[in-house]
Amino acid sequence: MQSLRKHCILLFLFLSALGMAQSNAARQKSLENQKKRLQAEIKQINGLLFKNSKKEKSVLSQVEDLSVKISVRNDLVKVNNEQANLLTRQINVNQRNITNLRKELELLKMDYAEMIRKSYKSNSSQNRLMFLFSSEDFLQAYKRIQYMKQYANFRKKQGEEIAEKTKTLQELNARLLEQKAQKENLVKENRKVQQALEQERKSQQRLISSLKSKSRSMAQEIKTKQRKSAAIDREIDRLIREAIAASNRAAGKKSQSTFTLTPEAKLLAKNFVANKGKLPWPVEKGVVIQRFGTQPHPVVKTTMIKSNGVTIATSPQAEARAVFEGEVMSILSFKGSNPTVLIKHGNFITTYKNMGKVYVKKGDKVTAKQPIGEIFSHPQTGKTTLQFSVFSNSTPQNPKSWIYRM
């Protein structure tokens, strides 16, 4: 009974350790995938924001671009640290397991050696025959034969257990060495990332210091841009509300704040929602340089900026593409700004601001990933940026929740 309980405890500990190992392996794989994505994003940032050195960028623009890279690089440091911490925990567990296994193996070998010694001392061939022939009857002789068989099997099992534990110990030692090497490489890699991060922060700080005397004028410049952006957002809101009102009138309903949908439009909206988090990017390649929502400006921290969507930096002459099938609701041409394309997907609207050329017109049916125009490239800075938004009726949504790995 005690032996059975011991084996049950050992089985439970083994299964627990196995479950933990599988969980750690899955987490390590997830972190490795995150790291690869962040490294690819830094590579894209370098290619899209820092490659064109011939273009004259303002100091403010340089600081903003560095802020994007610093943010991603900082995320990479965090992922590397988490990987290192996970490896440290795995190493500690392995070291404890190795220590325990060595103790078990040592005791097992001692017991086995003692059993062999006693066996040779008392169980010679002559002694075994005497033990057998001294039986009082056939039944007792049979029982003694069975006992000798069980004893021989027990010795065999103990020998096999020693061999198995020795093999496990060798595997654990090999795994431990591998984990220590992985951690050492990770620490070296993270040191390089941190050095690059420190250099970028110093460069940014130097640029910010040179702008201190101009902080008031910069704040004014940012506010002017925000007013211009807010004016476009109000115009988009007006167009969406007009489309909502038109859908209600067509259905003979009273005015309300949501679209009245036809059966076809309901199905389209349902499919759009079903693809939440899986929609393609509105550009073939790019990096997000401004997130959704209200946030402090990366340079003038006291100035808040509001974004109804995300700003994506992409390559010159890049095309914007529809993220889902739908119908072009409107092409907004606002004085002093580049065109904006609005595409309707049932009661959802996606908008594509800062177009240089537009390939579609109002009423056109579009498919997912269909190019709808070429994005405007700034002639002075050389930057090509798309402002992308998602609306549910007239309410702005965070594109990160809708676009795959944004």
- Where are the domains positioned within the chain? 2-212, 230-401
pLDDT class of 214 with cuts at 50, 70, 90: confident
- Between 246 and 103, whose confidence is greater? 246
Highest mean pLDDT among 12-21, 141-150, 386-395: 386-395
**Contact in structure between 193 and 80 (CB atoms under 8 Å):** yes
Please report the pLDDT score of residue 115 as a whole number. Answer: 63
Residues for the chain: how many in total? 406
- Residue 2 is predicted with a pLDDT of 47
Instruction: Give the Cα-Cα-Cα angle 189, 90, 76 (nearest 5 degrees).
Output: 30
Quote the CA–CA distance of 56 and 170 in Å, as a whole number: 61
pLDDT(391) > 50: yes
What would the pLDDT profile of 15-57 be if each residue is shown by its tens digit? Answer: 555 566 678 889 989 999 999 999 999 998 988 888 765 566 7
DSSP 149-160: HHHHHHHHHHHH
Beta bridge partners of 263: none
Structure tokens at 87: 């490896």
Integer Cα distance of 90 and 233 in angstroms: 51
Question: Crossing angle for the helix pair 125-133 and 138-211, nearest 10 degrees?
Answer: 130
| Contact criterion met (CB below 8 Å) for 341 and 357 | no
Is 2-212 in CATH node 1.20.140.10? no
Domain 230-401 part of CATH 2.70.70.10: yes
Report pLDDT digits (tens) over 328-355. Answer: 999 999 888 899 999 999 999 999 999 9
